[in-house]
Amino acid sequence: MTHSQDTSAPVLGASSHPALPARPVFVVGQRGSFPPAANAAETIFRIWIGLSVAVPPALIWAAEDGAPQLIDHLRTRVLLAPVPSQPLDADSLQAAVHGALDEGATLIGGGLPEGKTSFALTLLIHLDVSSCLVSPQAPVGPVLAMLASEPAAAADATLAALSGSLAFYRLGEDGQLESSSAHPTT
């Protein structure tokens, strides 16, 4: 398993598929103080939107105490965003999202709009680490998913379950990227 830890650039490393960039993993509120949710949501959204839609689903680890507010702010951003026009395998992505929902995830917004061929920015919460969207075979697309486990409680198990190249983005107390490139479990 390769872990890309530099948070200075939006796209880092290479995933298990040589043509894909690293899977973005956002870590929020792990160090005991949850940042202002609006700031954290803006930082996550700015970085995520700056990535090509041809990346594996982006993941968020968020401490429970601030997660509901973070979800509210991200939901607003996702619902107001235009549908990306980049071509991708919408049917495979839709099947993977439905699989995640069957596995217990909750769709907050997005997906494949009725009668459309472009996949809208999609926000899921309560994503289990065993979900098809977490696997290295997950189809690429504009999916942002909050993991069901709190970082401090399940960091080792979650890291063990993730594979491929990962780009960690740790948000500080102000909701901005930390300059540290420390691993999320340290």
Question: For 34-38, 46-50, 85-89, 108-112, which range has the lowest pLDDT when averaged over its residues?
Answer: 85-89
| pLDDT score at 96 | 92
Domain residue ranges in the chain:
22-171
Which residue did the predictor score with more confidence, 147 or 144? Answer: 144
Lowest mean pLDDT among 19-23, 113-117, 140-144, 151-155: 151-155
Report the distance separating Cα 39 and Cα 70, nearest Å.
9
Over residues 64-90, the mean pLDDT reads 86
Asked whether the predicted pLDDT for residue 8 surpasses 70, the reply is no
Q: What pLDDT does 10 receive?
A: 34
For residue 139, how many other CB atoms are within 10 A of its CB? 21
For residues 52-79, average pLDDT = 88
Per-residue burial over 81-113, b = 16 or more CB atoms within 10 Å of its CB, e = otherwise: eeebeeebebeebbebbeebbebebeebbbbbe
Determine the CATH number of domain 22-171. 3.40.309.10
- Report how far apart, in Å, the C-alpha atoms of 186 and of each of 3, 33, 71, 84, 163 are: 14, 16, 25, 36, 19
Residue 139: the pLDDT is 87
